[in-house]
Structure 1
């Protein structure tokens, strides 16, 4: 989960005694009324010990464009062209066998 901003994290963890590990941070946030988004973002922290709220804020994964709709996010995932992209996520030409099957269906094939 990626957070939209780290403001809520600062509010929820303001009185936590540091250093603290990830579990202590998540539990403290839960007890002090963190919203679901903040709690999930803190749960996504890498394991380890943190020395300050600022260090926690730097470690929380942030959404680079929080105003995108879910449809826009899905579109970006479908048309992602970076090297190393998983094969099932790449746009590919239809295999020749599938093209032939589609032609048969369009002609009212035997099935």
Structure 2
């Protein structure tokens, strides 16, 4: 897996991409715009699917944690939200959640 230092190179590589775009179109656009090899390689590692906008592409690219420039606060918040709530595209009501501590302690019928 390629870790990028920042997302600026990706933005430059995808400046003329029409969204929504499938992963294949994202990679093809970067190749057409002669993006750096590490950018193209990182885009090839994207999950299959359709990306609604540039922000979705940028959130899906792994960044080097040792790099001086990290994700913007908005990008970090979105990534954290996805991490807490599981995989994107899965309805929230389908996620497994643990019962509240009081329910674990008193049993399922404590309030009934």
- Shorter-chain TM-score: what band? 0.5 to 0.7
Displacement of 1:14 in angstroms is 1.3
- Establish whether residue 61 from structure 1 lines up as the match of residue 97 from structure 2: no
Give 2:86's aligned residue. none
Give 1:79's aligned residue. none
Give 2:6's aligned residue. 5
Counterparts of 2:43 and 2:67 in 1: how far apart (Å)? 17
Displacement of 1:2 in angstroms is 1.5
Counterpart secondary structure, 1:47: coil
Displacement of 1:66 in angstroms is 3.4
Q: TM-score, structure 2 length as denominator?
A: 0.57
Q: TM-score, structure 1 length as denominator?
A: 0.57
Written as runs of structure 1 = structure 2, the 5 A alignment for 1:1-111 is 1-66=2-67
Counterparts of 1:51 and 1:14 in 2: how far apart (Å)? 14
- Structure 1 runs (4+) deviating above 4 angstroms are none
Counterparts of 1:40 and 1:50 in 2: how far apart (Å)? 17
Counterparts of 2:13 and 2:37 in 1: how far apart (Å)? 12
Q: Is the 8 A contact 1:12 1:32 kept in 2?
A: yes
